[in-house]
Amino acid sequence: MKKSRPSSSAIRELRSRHKRKLVALVFYISVFITAGVFGCSAKNTNPAYQKAEALPAYQQASFEQYIQDTQRWLAENRAFKSDDHQQEIVLNSPFELVPDSPNGQAILLVHGLGDSPYSFHDIAEHLVKQGYLVRAILLPGHGSKAGDLLLPSYSDWENIVSHHTQLLLQEYANVWLGGYSTGANLVTSYALNDDRVSGLLLFSPAFQPKSEAVKYARFASYFMDWADQDPENNVLRYNSLPMNGAAVYYQTAQVVQDNLATHSFVKPILMVLSEADSVVDTTAASQAFQNQFIHAESRLIWQGEHPPEGKRIVSQTMVLPKYRVSNGSHMGMLFSPNNPYYGQSGTITICDNGQRDIDYANCQSGHQVWYSAYGYQEPNKIHARLTFNPHFQELMQSIDLVMKPNS
């Protein structure tokens, strides 16, 4: 059964490289509501858009067994993007780093929507050198192929965070949680309901999306599978977004908002926000920091030129010509400028950044680029996504200061 389709001009608009994921979601939903798009999704044979028969198990009794089982599942279910299958599995699998000089503390790290545990590669390397036992999990539906985001429910993501936090709590008296974007929502909701958690590291917490259209994703998912389909050429994350993935993200936002409305977190946290973030409402996140995260040693790092007022706020300029950086992005704070994939000289440049077709083509062909959040444009400059943090060393120092009270 074929569903009615939007006009050809609308399809061209949808397929434009200039449409970020949430804009594409708004477009799909508006078409659905105004044009009555009903029926069955057209079959797509691209392996990247297919889904596995089932999600991988994640409730193993040990983290070592969890890693082994997950890597085996990835080997069987991943749509590989290069000839080096083993390297892709390692980059996308959960990992554990064991310190040479343990400080008796541990941390669990949770990535964001469409991403992988590699999001925490650089931060984890720093933490293990400080003596922390570091674990990073893979949210079900990730690491394999974009089509597998058609499978998970909110409970899958909630339960994996709960299970692996509790595994750590059986071994360590002091357990921290860290999360990026959607992962920040999940670890915050857990920590607000378990006072054994020692503190939080929150990077671009997605407590509230910038676009309210995301709330319709669950409704739209009954009639269409995809919010956006793009070429899958990044070995570290998905470029495409199934409607179900957007819907489950929105559930994480609803749950964390409900928890924040009735709870305060009295342990130390570090929150990092980018003023120019194109994905999440940074004003809502900064207000939550001021009102619900009340520990005196907590810090909010604001990457931008107009920080909110407050004694616990650190402002960092993101107008940095030395690095060809025009402003901060949703993801850039996570990675060192020396990261081999996302760093200033890394092998991955995200040219799909909301610019003109000619700028996208020039970026792809190797012209010099500046870096920014999605959608930023400036005359006579080509902007790729900012994927590294020029203030990375300062961020590591702030992490050490915030985590020090429990050391």
Instruction: Collapse the DSSP code of 55 into the 3-class scheme (helix H, G, I; strand E, B; otherwise coil) and give the result.
Output: coil
Model confidence pLDDT, tens digit, residues 177-187:
999 999 999 99
Residue 4: inside a domain, yes or no?
no
For residues 305 and 297, the answer to whether their CB atoms sit within 8 Å is: no
Rounded to whole angstroms, what are the CA distances from 20 to 45, 230, 279?
24, 10, 9
Angle 278-333-136 from CA coordinates, rounded to 5°: 110
Closest alpha carbon to 213 in 19, 13, 3, 27: 27
Residue 346: inside a domain, yes or no?
no
Q: What is the mean pLDDT of residues 202-223?
A: 93
- Tell me, what CATH number does 156's domain have? 3.40.50.1820
Give dist(CA 360, CA 344) in Å, integer: 18
Q: Tokens for 82, please give them.
A: 């290069």
pLDDT score of 312: 96
Model confidence pLDDT, tens digit, residues 102-160:
999 999 999 999 999 999 999 999 999 999 999 999 999 999 999 999 999 999 999 99
Residue 116: inside a domain, yes or no?
yes
Residue 278: inside a domain, yes or no?
yes
The residue segments making up the domain with residue 106 are 10-317+392-406
Closest alpha carbon to 123 in 271, 389, 387, 335: 335
Say how many residues make up the chain: 407
pLDDT score of 132: 98
Where does 264-353 show beta strands of DSSP type E?
269-274, 299-303, 313-316
Residue 352: inside a domain, yes or no?
no
Least confident window among 108-112, 353-357, 370-374: 353-357
pLDDT score of 44: 61
What's the number of domains the chain is made of?
A: 1
First to last CA, the chain: 61
Least confident window among 5-9, 204-208, 380-384: 5-9
pTM, two decimals, is 0.90
Give dist(CA 228, CA 149) in Å, integer: 12
Give φ, ψ of 198 to 5 degrees: -80, -25
Residue 386: inside a domain, yes or no?
no
Asked whether the predicted pLDDT for residue 266 surpasses 60, the reply is: yes
Neighbours of 257 (CB within 10 A): 15
